[in-house]
Amino acid sequence: MFMGEYQHSVDAKGRLIIPSKFREDLGNTFVITRGLDNCLFGYPMDEWRKLEEKLKELPMTKKDARAFARFFFSGATEVEIDKQGRINIPSTLTTYAKLEKECVVVGVSSKIEIWAKESWESYFNEAENSFNEIAENLIGFDF
């Protein structure tokens, strides 16, 4: 399980250090793709395969299902963690997520998210202000 928040930077070549606490669970090779809210999602290979199977079940006769599958899969790429613990993020994904320098890598249960620092702070501040309301709207969720 991935959890926590870590600050890192993307270098001029598009390389990002993956937090050491995440590396073992991600494995040497994992998949990153466009995520929601203008971040990137990173999945260990076994989680990616599970997600791929679920997405195959979407009704491709539905316009929204086709659009989501195209968006999600067209941005997907396998990345490999190098000896320094870095991955090389393709320019299409750095552009999508607005990754210029400072980034935040967030653990979210079965995946990681990679955010531009400014985007994360903006999202977090907005979500923090409505956290109680969000929790109330999750029907049947109790913790």
Separation CA 63–CA 124 (nearest Å) = 31
Total count of domains within the chain: 1
Q: For 29-73, how does the pLDDT look when each residue is reduced to its tens digit (9 = 90+)?
A: 999 999 999 999 999 999 999 999 999 899 989 999 999 999 999
Q: Say if residues 102 and 116 touch (Cβ distance below 8 Å).
A: yes
The model carries a pTM of: 0.92
Q: Does residue 142 sit within a domain?
A: no
Q: Is there a domain that residue 143 lies in?
A: no
Domain of 33?
2-137
Counting beta carbons within 10 angstroms of the beta carbon of residue 123, is it exposed (0 to 12), middle (13 to 18) or buried (19 or more)?
middle
Residues 6+ positions from 127 with CB-CB distance below 8 Å: 134
Structural domain includes residue 65: yes
Neighbours of 67 (CB within 10 A): 10
- The CA distance from 46 to 76, in Å, is 15
CATH classification of the domain holding 94: 3.40.1550.20
